[in-house]
Amino acid sequence: MYDKTVDANFKERVFRQNSGAGEKFTEEQMSWLHMIKEHIASSIHIEPDDLDLTPFDAHGGRGKMWQLFGERMGAIIDEYCE
């Protein structure tokens, strides 16, 4: 049941971001957001340290997420944990 809530929240956030006048997510950013969503669905939350673990480490870990999202990284993690 929780995973359905996470999926619905994810879809709403991505739709809101992509439909607004703001910056659209790239394919690589979307891939990371999907990994974050899956992690939250199975672990209920995510911490920056989790980005050094599987599956994130295979994709460059915390450093790669910073490269993709920059200073927005913390805000994105916080937003997707709501």
- pLDDT values of the chain reduced to their tens digit, one per residue, 82 residues: 788 888 888 888 888 877 776 678 899 999 999 999 999 988 888 989 999 999 999 999 999 999 999 999 999 888 877 6
Segments forming the whole domain that contains residue 49: 2-81
- Residue 15, pLDDT score: 82
Kindly report the pTM of this predicted structure: 0.85
- Residue 49, pLDDT score: 93
- Residue 22, pLDDT score: 64
Domain count, the chain: 1
66: how many CB neighbours lie within 10 A of its CB? 16
- Residue 73, pLDDT score: 93
